[in-house]
Amino acid sequence: MARWMNASSTGYEYPPPVCASTERNVSTIWPSRMLTATSSGTRAFMREELYATAPVSRASTGVLVFAAAFQAFLLANLVSFDYGRDQGIYAVVGRAIMHGGVPYREVWDFKPPGIHFLFALARAILGPAPWAIRVIEAACWATVPLCFARFVARHGGNPLLGVLGGVLATYIEVRAEYWHTAQPESFGGVFLVWALTLVTTAGKTLVVERDLWRWGLAGLLFGAAGLLKPPLGAGLIPLFAVWLVDRMGGLEAGRRVRPIGALVLAALVGAAAPVAITLAFFVRRHGLGDLTDVLFRFTPHYTALGGGLRRVPANILRATLELLAYFSPMLAVAPLAFTALLDAKRREQIGVRSVAAIAFFPWLGIALQAKFFPYHYEGCLPFVCLLAVAVYARAVDWLERRGPRPMVRRAAVLLVVCGFCAFGEYINPKSFFWDRVSMRLDALAHPARREQLQDAMTSEGDVRSVENRRLSDWLRATTTASASVFIWGFEPVVYDSSRRRCASRYVYNVAQRLSWSHEASCATLKRDLEADPPVAVAVESEDRFADVTGNTQDSAEAIAACAWFPAWLSGNYSREWASAKFTVYRRTEPGPEDARPRSPARTE
């Protein structure tokens, strides 16, 4: 890669004239014109930089074409993903919002409200099918390579590195499969990429008129990310600090307060806007008390399951190890070689300080929350991927300068690509991405087998998609559309697939199975079921997850967590059928919702 000369008088790095020896540059950045404010208060004006495209080598063109094709392949897989357990919760809450309901009051969950509104938006625009939210997710991730390319170019680096970093981030995101995508961090991480790109300008000059609207919009993105996961929104603070330090030298000592104050105000107003809109929504619909009860009473206790503050040092170590090694060992190589391979000049060309600043709080939030699910890392993974690509590109560049045969360089590139494809089964060892790609192609070629293959791909851990579908089909066949049902378990996706409403706000029973919340939540559940007796009740088995409930009991074993529940169930319902996953009961005294004929009882 060609060395760029530093023009200290303008703060820009100008590339040398393009010639045969420098044609590897994908594009170069030439400032067109910049007039800055003078001490007399002259109005500042700055035109955006113009991109002058340099001749591109066939190798660079080939890499770019491959990256675009691979990105399209990844996003096509992403669109085909179904719901997991968490997505089922978000879908049910989104449906309630669409029908005028309020999260936490009509449908209970302990995630922040941002993800619920995204699912409601997808349902409003594209309909209730799982692919609706996947299309929006794919559209978001399609922008990541383009944003990183722009970010790197504005730092004077090769935009191709940004493209490859974005494609690698998309690959790791999609390889996490259906369960760990369409999560709060899946969208929040992209919002951070957008914010980083938005505030990055060529040069280190502060221009208030230009930077005010940039930081206002960036604050808006950070506020939206905070509604998805609070640590993501906190990234605004270190990023603004790094950005400001880089530009302090261009401000006169006595004229810093007003422009800095204006920028801080713009960023804070932007960040506060989505939060204020959300609070206004809950106030208008009389749900603010339910929101604060869940987020400020229940959630802190849930977070404490990870051991509290005394476990933070160990959690930080674990979060670092998993971020760098569990997704792919190839990511771990990058920081180990970072100091040796990337000099200060090259670090500047990929904006290392800004990247580290924006990724810090998402990474720290994982350790503080002490929940190490793969999707929790998606808020900082894109930035780690960008740094990793820069290191490997430098290694290939070093080989080229040393002059080995082209075959050696090609072998090195192939080794890196194969390393990312072959290694790293993630924290979730059952992702089997390439096996699932084959199954998706098989389903596409053989529609008659699609349902069977989809069930196989979405049956993971204790989840049995065949059983979920069987229960959904039975509810649709034997209850009216207006009927309410209740599942004592953790399969809220059944409410969405059966199009039947839950008789209670508790679409899953985690609150009743936790020691600190079961008393109040059981009392609320009893009031809900007495006010709206469900036509059918299903009790789930084998849904054990100690990381969430703090014990190893499944729902059937924890049926007495609410002391009144067993007697209420046996006194008002008779067993209809059972399977390895569900025991299904039907109300013994038919109500108006029981107009449809009952199916014969079955036991398997």
Look at residue 308 and tell me if it is in a domain.
yes
33, 85: one domain? yes
Mean pLDDT of 218-224: 97
Look at residue 493 and tell me if it is in a domain.
yes
Q: How far, in Å, are 66, 260, 374, 425, 538 from residue 428 at the CA level?
A: 28, 45, 7, 7, 28
Residue 159 CB neighbours (<10 A) = 23
Strands of the sheet with 501-502, listed across from one edge: 501-502, 484-488, 536-540, 582-587, 573-578, 602-603
472, 417: one domain? no
Look at residue 445 and tell me if it is in a domain.
no
CA-CA distance, 261 to 249, in Å (whole number)? 16
Residue 555: φ, ψ to 5°:
-65, -40
For position 20, what pLDDT does the model report? 36
Comparing 287 with 434, the larger pLDDT belongs to: 287
Span 164-177, pLDDT tens digits: 999 999 999 998 88
For position 340, what pLDDT does the model report? 67
Final residue of a domain: which of 422, 443, 475?
Answer: 422
Question: The tokens of 401 are what?
Answer: 């300068």
Residue 593 CB neighbours (<10 A) = 20
For position 225, what pLDDT does the model report? 97
Mean pLDDT of 403-418: 72
245, 111: one domain? yes
Span 522-540, pLDDT tens digits: 999 999 999 999 999 999 9
227, 326: one domain? yes
Span 510-523, pLDDT tens digits: 999 988 888 999 99
400, 502: one domain? no
CA-CA distance, 462 to 470, in Å (whole number)? 16
Final residue of a domain: which of 422, 453, 486?
Answer: 422
Look at residue 453 and tell me if it is in a domain.
no
For position 168, what pLDDT does the model report? 92
For position 135, what pLDDT does the model report? 97
58: Cβ contacts below 8 Å, ≥ 6 apart: none
For position 431, what pLDDT does the model report? 60
Look at residue 457 and tell me if it is in a domain.
no
For position 507, what pLDDT does the model report? 96
358, 289: one domain? yes
**Which value, in Å, is the radius of gyration of the alpha carbons in the chain?**
27
pTM of the model: 0.85
59, 154: one domain? yes
For position 19, what pLDDT does the model report? 38
pLDDT at 204 over 80: no
Averaged pLDDT of the chain = 83
Whether the CB-CB separation of 526 and 546 falls below 8 Å is answered with: no
Final residue of a domain: which of 390, 422, 454?
Answer: 422
Mean pLDDT of 46-73: 68
404, 510: one domain? no
Look at residue 442 and tell me if it is in a domain.
no
- Strand residues in 402-545 grouped as ranges (E): 484-488, 501-502, 536-540
Of the chain, the percentage scoring pLDDT greater than 70 comes to 82
User: Which segment of 11-15, 177-181, 333-337, 510-514 scores lowest on mean pLDDT?
Assistant: 11-15
For position 590, what pLDDT does the model report? 66
User: Which segment of 2-11, 360-369, 544-553, 563-572 scores lowest on mean pLDDT?
Assistant: 2-11
| Domain, as residue range, for 243 | 7-422
Mean pLDDT of 336-359: 81
For position 419, what pLDDT does the model report? 73
389, 506: one domain? no
188, 258: one domain? yes
390, 488: one domain? no
Span 466-510, pLDDT tens digits: 999 999 999 999 999 999 999 999 999 999 999 999 999 999 999
CA-CA distance, 281 to 510, in Å (whole number)? 26
- As for how many domains the chain has, the answer is 2
CA nearest neighbour of 144 among 228, 78, 219: 78
pLDDT band at 379 (very low <50, low <70, confident <90, very high): very high
Question: The tokens of 140 are what?
Answer: 């978001």
Look at residue 132 and tell me if it is in a domain.
yes
307, 412: one domain? yes
Amino acid at 366: I
Handedness of CA 575, 577, 579, 583 (dihedral sign): negative
Residue 477: φ, ψ to 5°:
-80, -25
User: Which segment of 127-136, 340-349, 373-382, 440-449 scores lowest on mean pLDDT?
Assistant: 340-349
DSSP 379: G
DSSP string, 314-342: HHHHHHHHIIIIIS-HHHHHHHHHHHHH-
For position 432, what pLDDT does the model report? 77
Look at residue 430 and tell me if it is in a domain.
no
Whether the CB-CB separation of 173 and 187 falls below 8 Å is answered with: no
